[in-house]
Amino acid sequence: MNYLIIIQARMNSTRFPGKVLAPLCGKPLLAHLLERISRNHHGCDIVVATSADDSDIPIVQFCATNSILCHRGPLGHVAERFASCLKTYPAEAFVRLSGDSPLLDVELVDRAIALYRQQDYDLITNVRPRTFPRGQSVEMIRSSCFLEHVGNMQDVRDQEHVTRYFYQHATAFKLCCFESPDPSYADISLAVDTPADLVAIETIMQQHMERQLEDSWLEFATLRRRLSQNPRAFL
């Protein structure tokens, strides 16, 4: 079986335009995510799925410069963007990730793939219920199932959020949720939604510059909590 990792990314974020390419510890934010995810144990191809809008040309250029597969599709209908990506890069199943998650733990991706290989699921998720920090969200979807139902996603929220349709119709699908061993960190965010988040994430990364690729989500979440409780913790 071949699996694909699809990272959705766009430049026109309302709260933080251009965040996916914002400088973070000397390189674009998206580069950190790609570096971490490329260490997956299953040899998955990785595609950055961005839009055909002119605003996302910088993402296309970044991918071209760094020899990263890139696919362009609708800006608002993200589910259709994923569907067209799968038609260009066919795969048995795909892992959906968000481009604003520079500290995503690749072990969570490997865990989702391992669960998919063990049993006949349509969707593997660690999002519903949320027990991991934001920025550690992983969903793996059977491609044939997704392509069969993408045309049914008439609600704009389903089109934008890609997997919402499956949760809204959960009884029609075979879902598997894997949960955190410590759900007390579910209120922590390791994603970048605002410029302030970027500053916090950079502060955290600077604590472990030499071994950050080996650090787990729990190590980063612990540092993030300390920083939230005491903004001067790492001064």
pLDDT in tens, 4-16: 999 999 999 999 9
Tokens 């500053």: give the residue.
199
Q: What is the mean pLDDT of the chain?
A: 95
Domain extent listing, the chain: 3-229
230 has pLDDT over 70: yes
- State the pLDDT at residue 46: 98
70 has pLDDT over 70: yes
Mean pLDDT value across residues 16-27:
97
pLDDT digits (tens, 9 = 90+) for 172-185: 999 999 999 999 99
- State the pLDDT at residue 235: 64
Asked whether the whole model's pTM tops 0.75, one would answer yes
Q: Are 139 and 158 in contact (CB under 8 A)?
A: no
- State the pLDDT at residue 117: 95
Own/partner pairs, 31-35, CB within 8 angstroms, 24+ separation: 31/62, 31/66, 32/102, 32/103, 32/205, 33/7, 33/97, 33/99, 33/101, 33/102, 33/104, 34/7, 34/66, 34/68, 35/213
- State the pLDDT at residue 232: 81
User: Rg of the chain's alpha carbons, rounded to an integer?
Assistant: 17
d(CA 210, CA 183): 28
CATH fold of the domain at 3-229: Spore Coat Polysaccharide Biosynthesis Protein SpsA; Chain A (3.90.550)
